[in-house]
Homo-oligomer: A and B are copies of this chain.
Amino acid sequence: MSKETIQSLIDRYIDVSFSVTKKEESLMTEQLGSEITQDQHYILRYIYRVGSCTSTKLAEEFEVKKSAITAIINRLWEKGFIKRTRDEMDRRVVYLTLTEQGEIFYQKIEEKINCFVELFMSKFEQSEMEQFIDTYEKLNQVLIEIKDKQ
């Protein structure tokens, strides 16, 4: 592969990944409305899917410090979406779950997000989108390997 080709691919990748991330964020923020932010949505999504988890787990999963999680959970808790339950066996641990209100709210926004993602996916042939996501997932694996090597 020539040096120019590589450089061109690198530049295209940096440009397009930045642009798409930016636009998706702004369009998804519209779907979410003013009640909740992007980051809060991802936290809600995670807890909804696993049912219950701890701050430590969230911090690992989202690759941020625990105090960052505390801040987000506090905001979700103030909105009435999150329940905190102390583990009676190990009283240091706090389990985080969605309240009923939190579940209902999440399901509502999940549907909106799904519609939005489906909308832009429908502009592609299924095979092209499958190939795209396959490579995207492979890229994710590559990045995990790079991180591990450090």
CB atoms of A22 and B62 under 8 A apart:
yes
The A1-17 residues at the B interface (CB cut-off 8 A) are 1, 5-7, 9-10, 12-14, 16-17
Residues of A within 8 A of B (CB): 1, 5-7, 9-10, 12-14, 16-24, 26-27, 30, 42, 45, 62-63, 113-114, 117-121, 123-124, 126, 128-133, 135-140, 142-144, 146-147, 150
Copies of this protein, total: 2
Q: A91 → chain B, closest Cβ, in Å?
A: 32
Contacts of A22 in B (CB 8 A): 62-63
In the bound complex, what is the Cα–Cα distance between A142 and B147 (angstroms)? 32
CB atoms of B129 and A131 under 8 A apart:
no
